[in-house]
């Protein structure tokens, strides 16, 4: 009986030493390093969400794999906006909004074709509408320096307004949505 007990104790000590050795010998690789070296480069993007008082926008920095083209950039930014904030605040875009297509011209106009969820998922009044547009326009403007104006369309069709308060029939000048007078 004593021999059995000593044998079990010996194997337990052996297993614990082996476990500790394995932890020391295989150091953890930071996730960002592996992602950066294996796939594409990482890029810090600035996302705009709504403050809890709904009277201003909050900016949140986030690491994203470097998109390969214009469509991928806009799609990734909108996807991150749809995921919502991690550091406080509230998502402004209607849930489920995604990018269907993106077009641009040489004069800094970006046409973003959003999924129908942008229109169908909208709830609220003018502040919700205003913040949804501001969040989208400022996020695109902050991360795509070549863009000066944003035209929002929805499901491939022109969109006159989202909830009846903010006109979307014309391209939105990013500079006007950054102006402090509008917040």
Residues at the interface with another protein (CB under 8 A): 50, 52-55, 90, 123-128, 130-131, 160-161, 164-167, 169-170, 173, 176, 179-183
Cα separation, 71 vs 48, whole angstroms: 19
Least distance (Å) between residue 149 CB and another protein:
9
Nearest to 111 by CA among 165, 66, 161, 74: 74
**64 versus 166: smaller Cβ distance to another protein:** 166
**48 versus 130: smaller Cβ distance to another protein:** 130
Least distance (Å) between residue 109 CB and another protein:
11
**36 versus 173: smaller Cβ distance to another protein:** 173
Q: Which residues pair with 111 in a beta bridge?
A: 103, 151
**75 versus 82: smaller Cβ distance to another protein:** 82
Least distance (Å) between residue 41 CB and another protein:
33
Least distance (Å) between residue 78 CB and another protein:
20
CB 92 within 8 A of CB 50: yes
């Amino acid at each position: 009986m004593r021999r059995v007990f000593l044998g079990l104790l010996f194997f337990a000590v052996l297993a614990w030493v082996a476990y500790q050795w394995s932890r020391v010998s295989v150091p953890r690789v930071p996730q960002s390093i592996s992602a950066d070296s294996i796939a594409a480069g990482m890029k810090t993007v600035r996302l705009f969400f709504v403050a809890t008082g709904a009277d201003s926008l909050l900016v949140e920095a986030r690491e994203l794999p470097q998109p390969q083209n214009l469509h991928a950039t806009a799609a990734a930014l909108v996807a991150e906006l749809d995921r919502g904030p991690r550091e406080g605040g509230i998502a402004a875009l209607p849930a489920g909004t995604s990018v269907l297509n993106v077009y641009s011209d040489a004069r800094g106009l970006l046409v973003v074709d959003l999924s129908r969820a942008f229109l169908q998922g909208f709830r609220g009044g003018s502040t919700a509408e205003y913040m949804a547009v501001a969040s989208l326009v400022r996020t695109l403007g902050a991360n795509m320096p070549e863009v000066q104006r944003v035209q929002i369309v929805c499901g491939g069709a022109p969109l006159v307004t989202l909830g009846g308060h903010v006109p979307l029939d014309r391209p939105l000048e990013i500079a006007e949505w950054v102006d402090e007078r509008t917040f």
